[in-house]
């Protein structure tokens, strides 16, 4: 599917080195051919140049209602960083299918209902589709699997024997977060900071939590690819003691991973939870949400309200 840029036109795009200046939100009424784009709210689309991955990507920053109001000019907000930014807000920018997580609509509704505290959500774009045509480019530009996999995945086609997911925690904490904290009014500290993703993005979210002590206090892990490299992530996290205060796991009953295996995502999530319990994480700090559903944006969108309420509940 061709990536649509039409929804970006209403927001000013700039690099990490440019002066911060922001236009109004992308329009939900933007049309891309016959397809109606679905982004809503005050969604700012900005550009980040990464020295770590040697490429450039978009950050999609969803600001809460009232962010620009004069009475809130000094107010700061908690922040949630989510992987696969292309898939969170708009069907026009999803690089695989005409579907999205409906993060913007869900967050606005739950904040208005006072179920979730008012927060900023940052979608961090992935580096693009991995396929035969991109193999040469990936040597210098990377791809989604290259950045989200700390270890090679034997199930990936075409094979990618060298991956750079081990750099993702540094990318997030030394490039993405400082940029967002400089240009938007975000609260800092683990109690105000979350991160997450789905599939490979869920795998790297768990890896980031393991390698960034006292940075993220909220973690969202959807349909994680725990099977990768003979469950290497479970060995990686075993014995770790500094886990975030709230950890959400989601998965679908219809999800399986691996060729010729009956291994289920729900079973893999349970394995991860048992390892973290052995690490000393109490039951009150977990929410495991397994529902009917497949491995796709519709399922993740359906479970996202539960995740957001658990991770960022409204203050009483």
More confident residue, 232 or 30: 232
Would you state the pLDDT for residue 138? 59
The region of weakest confidence among 184-193, 262-271, 282-291 is 262-271
Q: Model-level pTM?
A: 0.88
Would you state the pLDDT for residue 10? 30
The per-residue pLDDT for range 90-111, each reduced to its tens digit, is 999 998 878 899 999 999 999 9
User: For residues 195 and 205, is the Cβ–Cβ distance under 8 A?
Assistant: yes
User: For residues 259 and 253, is the Cβ–Cβ distance under 8 A?
Assistant: no
* Residues belonging to the chain: 316
Q: What are 264's strand-pairing partners?
A: 256
Mean pLDDT on 139-166: 90
Element (H, E) at 19: none
Would you state the pLDDT for residue 11? 33
Would you state the pLDDT for residue 270? 96
The per-residue pLDDT for range 149-162, each reduced to its tens digit, is 999 999 998 889 99
The region of weakest confidence among 15-24, 44-53, 108-117, 160-169 is 15-24
Cα–Cα separations (whole angstroms), residue 96 to 1, 66, 72, 93, 129: 6, 33, 38, 9, 8
Cα 303 to Cα 285: distance, rounded to the nearest angstrom = 18
Across the chain, mean pLDDT equals: 87
The closest alpha carbon to 203, from 139, 252, 149, belongs to: 149
Query: Between β-strands 31-32 and 35-36, what pairing exists: parallel, antiparallel or unpaired?
Result: antiparallel
Is a pLDDT exceeding 70 seen at residue 177?
A: yes
Would you state the pLDDT for residue 249? 98
Domain definitions of the chain by residue range: 6-311
Q: What are 3's strand-pairing partners?
A: none
User: For residues 59 and 86, is the Cβ–Cβ distance under 8 A?
Assistant: no
User: For residues 310 and 194, is the Cβ–Cβ distance under 8 A?
Assistant: no
Is a pLDDT exceeding 90 seen at residue 221?
A: yes
Cα 64 to Cα 42: distance, rounded to the nearest angstrom = 7
User: For residues 16 and 79, is the Cβ–Cβ distance under 8 A?
Assistant: no
Superfamily of domain 6-311: Alpha/Beta hydrolase fold, catalytic domain (3.40.50.1820)
Is a pLDDT exceeding 70 seen at residue 17?
A: no
Using only the alpha carbons of the chain, give its radius of gyration. 18
Mean pLDDT on 243-260: 86
Q: pLDDT band at 129, cuts 50/70/90?
A: confident
């Amino acid at each position: 599917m061709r990536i649509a840029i039409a929804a970006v036109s209403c927001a000013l795009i700039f690099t990490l080195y440019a002066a911060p200046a922001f236009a109004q939100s992308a329009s939900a009424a933007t049309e891309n051919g016959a397809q109606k784009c679905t982004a809503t709210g005050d969604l700012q689309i900005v550009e980040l140049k990464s020295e770590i991955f040697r490429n450039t990507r978009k950050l999609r920053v969803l600001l809460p209602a009232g962010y620009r109001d004069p009475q809130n000019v000094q107010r700061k907000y908690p922040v949630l960083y989510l992987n696969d930014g292309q898939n969170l807000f708009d069907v026009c920018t999803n690089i695989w299918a005409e579907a999205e997580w409906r993060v913007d609509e869900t967050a606005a509704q739950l904040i208005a209902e006072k179920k979730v505290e008012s927060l900023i959500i940052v979608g961090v774009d992935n580096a693009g589709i991995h396929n035969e045509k991109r193999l040469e480019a990936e040597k210098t530009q990377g791809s989604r699997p290259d950045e989200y996999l700390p270890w090679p995945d034997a199930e990936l086609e075409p094979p990618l024997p060298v991956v750079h997911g081990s750099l993702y925690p540094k990318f997030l904490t030394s490039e993405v977060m400082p940029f967002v904290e400089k240009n938007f009014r975000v609260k800092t500290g683990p109690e105000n900071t979350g991160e997450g993703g789905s599939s490979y993005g869920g795998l790297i979210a768990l890896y980031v939590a393991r390698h960034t002590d006292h940075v993220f206090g909220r973690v969202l892990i959807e349909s994680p690819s725990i099977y990768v490299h003979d469950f290497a992530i479970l060995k990686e996290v075993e014995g770790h003691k500094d886990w975030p205060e709230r950890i959400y796991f989601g998965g679908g009953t219809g999800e399986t991973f691996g060729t010729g295996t009956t291994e289920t995502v729900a079973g893999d999530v349970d394995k991860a939870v048992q390892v973290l319990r052995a690490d000393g994480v109490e039951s009150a700090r977990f929410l495991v949400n397994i529902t009917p559903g497949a491995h796709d944006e519709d399922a993740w969108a359906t479970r996202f309200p539960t995740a957001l309420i658990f991770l960022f509940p409204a203050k009483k």
